[in-house]
Structure 1
Amino acid sequence: MPRTASRRRLHLAAHFPGVNNTTVWTDPRSGSQIDFASFLHLARTAERGRFDFFFLAEGLRLRELKGRVHDLDVAGRPESLTVLSALAAVTERLGLAGTVSATFNEPYELARRLATLDHLSEGRAAWNVVTTSDAFTGENFRRGGFLDRADRYTRAEEFLRLARALWDSWRPDAVAADQELGRFVRPGAVGEVRHHGRHFTVQGRFTLPRSPQGHPVIIQAGDSDEGREFAAANADVIFSRHGTLEDGRAFYADVKRRLARHGREPHELKIMPAATYALGDTDAEAAENAAEIRRLQVGPQTATAFLEQIWGRDMSAHDPEGPLPDVEPAADAGISQGRVQVADRLAVAAKWRAVAEEKRLSIRDLVIEMTGRQSFVGSPETVARRMEEFVEAEAADGFILVPHLTPGGLDPFVDRVVPILQERGVFRTEYTGTTLRDHLGLAAPRRTP
Structure 2
Amino acid sequence: MSDRKQIILGAYLGGVNHQTVWSHPDAGSQIDFSSFEHTAVTAERGKFDFFFLAEGLALRERDGQVFDQDIVGRPDTLPVLASLAAVTEHLGLAGTLNATFNEPYELARQLASLDHLSGGRAAWNVVTSFDAFTGQNFRRGGFLDRSQRYERAAEAVALVRELWDAWAADEVVADKATGRFLRSGDAGAFAHTGPQFDVRGRFTVPRSPQGQPVVLQAGVSEQGREFAAATSDAIFSPFTHLADAQAYYADVKARVVRHGRRADEVKILPGAAFVLGDTEQDAQDKARWVREQQVTDRTARILLEQIWNRDLSAYDPDGPLPDVEPDLDAPSFIQGRALLDPDRRGWVARLRALAEENRWSLRQVVVDQFTRTEFVGTATQVADQIDTFVQEGGSDGFIIGSHLVPTGLDEFVDRVVPLLQERGALRAEYTGTTLRDNLGLPVPERARGAVLVG
The two structures have a TM-score, normalised by structure 2, of 0.95
Would the aligned equivalents of 2:21 and 2:294 in 1 still touch at CA under 8 Å? yes
Q: Does 1:94 align with 2:91?
A: yes
2:137 matches 1:140: yes
Q: What residue is the counterpart of 1:413 in the other structure?
A: 412
How far did 1:326 drift?
A: 1.9
In the alignment, which residue of structure 2 is the partner of 1:22? 19
Instruction: Please say which of residues 181-190 and 323-332 is displaced more in the overlay.
Output: 181-190
Indicate the SS of the match to 1:276.
strand
- In the other structure, the counterpart of 2:103 is 106
Q: Give the aligned partner of residue 339 of structure 1.
A: 337
Pair 1:8 & 2:26 matched? no
Find the partner of 2:279 among 277, 282, 288: 282
- Unaligned ranges ≥5, structure 2: 449-454
Question: 2:161, 2:17 → 1: CA distance?
Answer: 34
1:145 deviates by: 4.7
On the 8 A contact 1:312/1:332 being kept in 2, the answer is no
Secondary structure at the counterpart of residue 173 of structure 1: helix
- Runs (4+) of structure 1 exceeding 6 A deviation are 178-182
Distance 2:328 2:12 in 1: 35
- Structure 1's 181 and 32: CA in aligned 2 closer, same or farther, altered over 3 A? closer
Aligned equivalents of 1:240, 1:368: Cα separation in 2: 21
**1:198-237 Cα deviation digits (max 9, x unpaired):** 1111111111111111011000012211111000001111
- Alpha carbons 2:9, 2:50 under 8 Å: kept: yes
Q: Does 1:171 align with 2:168?
A: yes
Question: Aligned AA for 1:170?
Answer: W
Q: Which amino acid aligns with 2:141?
A: G
Which residue in the other structure is 2:63 paired with? Answer: 66
* 1:159 and 2:156 matched: yes
Q: Cα gap change, 1:372/1:146 in structure 2, threshold over 3 Å: closer, same or farther?
A: closer
* Equivalent residue for 2:314, pick from 313, 317, 322: 317
Contact 2:188 2:204 in 1 (8 A): no
**CA distance, structure 1, for counterparts of residue 384 and residue 399 of structure 2:** 17
The Cα RMSD (Å) is: 1.8
Asked if the contact 1:136/1:145 (under 8 Å) is kept, the reply is no
Give the structure 2 partner of residue 44 of structure 1.
41
Measured in 1, the distance between the counterparts of 2:400 and 2:178 equals 49
The residue identity in structure 2 corresponding to 1:40 is: E
1:427 has 2:400 as partner? no
Q: In structure 1, how many angstroms separate the alpha carbons of the residues matched to 2:254 and 2:221?
A: 15
Query: 2:451 is matched with which residue?
Result: none
Q: For residue 373 of structure 2, what is the amino acid of its counterpart? A: Q
1:98-247 mapped onto 2 (5 Å cutoff)? 98-176=95-173, 183=180, 185-188=182-185, 190-247=187-244
Matched residue count? 446
Spell out, residue by residue over 1:232-263, the C-alpha distance to the aligned partner (whole angstroms, 9 max, x if none). 00111111111111211111111111012211
Name the residue aligned to 1:387: 386
Do residues 443 (structure 1) and 436 (structure 2) align? no
Counterpart-to-counterpart distance in 2, 1:179 and 1:270: 36
Query: How far apart, CA to CA, are the structure 2 residues paired with 1:180 and 1:339?
Result: 52
**Deviations 1:249-288 (CA, angstroms, capped at 9, x unpaired):** 1111111110122111110000000001111011111111
Residues 61 and 338 in structure 1, CA contact (< 8 A), matched pair in contact too = yes
Contact 1:130 1:222 (C-alpha < 8 Å) held by counterparts: no
In 2: Cα distance, 1:431 partner to 1:164 partner: 27
Task: Find the aligned partners of 2:178 and 2:302 in 1 and give their Cα distance.
Answer: 64
Q: 1:32 to 1:196 in 2, by over 3 A?
A: same
SS of corresponding position for 1:55: strand
Deviation at 1:74, TM superposition (A): 2.5
Answering whether residue 356 of structure 2 is matched by residue 357 of structure 1, we say: yes
Q: In the aligned structure 2, how far is the partner of 1:13 from the partner of 1:181?
A: 36
Q: CA 1:363 to 1:178, structure 2 compared with 1: closer, same or farther past 3 Å?
A: closer
Distance 1:257 1:181, change over 3 A: closer
Q: Which range is displaced more, 305-314 or 406-415? A: 305-314
Contact 2:317 2:362 in 1 (8 A): yes
Equivalent residues of 2:188, 2:206 under 8 A apart: no
**Contact preservation (8 Å) 1:171, 1:189:** no
Give 3-state SS (helix, strand or coil) of 2:167's partner: coil
Give the Cα separation in 2 of the matches to 1:211 and 1:192. 16
- Shifted more, 55-64 versus 338-347: the winner is 338-347
- Give the deviation of 1:179 after TM superposition: 9.2
Counterpart CA distance in 1 for 2:238 and 2:183 is 46
Structure 1 residue corresponding to 2:265, chosen from 264, 268, 280 = 268
Using a 3 Å threshold, how does the CA distance of structure 1 residues 234 and 448 change in structure 2: closer, same or farther? farther
Deviations 1:36-91 (A, max 9, x none): 00000000000000000000001110111221221121220211011000101111
Secondary structure of 1:14 counterpart: strand
Which letter maps to 1:358?
Answer: E
Question: Secondary structure at 1:193's aligned position in 2?
Answer: strand
Structure 1, unmatched stretches of 5+, are none
Using the TM superposition, give the Cα deviation of residue 171 of structure 1 relative to its aligned residue in structure 2, in angstroms.
Answer: 2.2
TM-score by length of 1: 0.96
Tell me the CA shift for residue 186 of structure 1.
4.6
Which AA in structure 2 matches 1:364? R
Question: In structure 2, what is the Cα distance between the partners aligned to 1:327 and 1:260?
Answer: 48
88-97 vs 138-147, greater mean Cα deviation? 138-147
Deviations 1:321-356 (A, max 9, x none): 222232222223611111212321211111111111
What is the SS of the residue equivalent to 2:10? Answer: strand
Distance 1:208 1:154 in 2: 26
Residue 236 of structure 2 aligns to which amino acid in structure 1?
F
* Identical-residue share of aligned pairs (%): 59
Shift of 1:174: 2.6
CA distance in 2, matches of 1:245, 1:393: 8
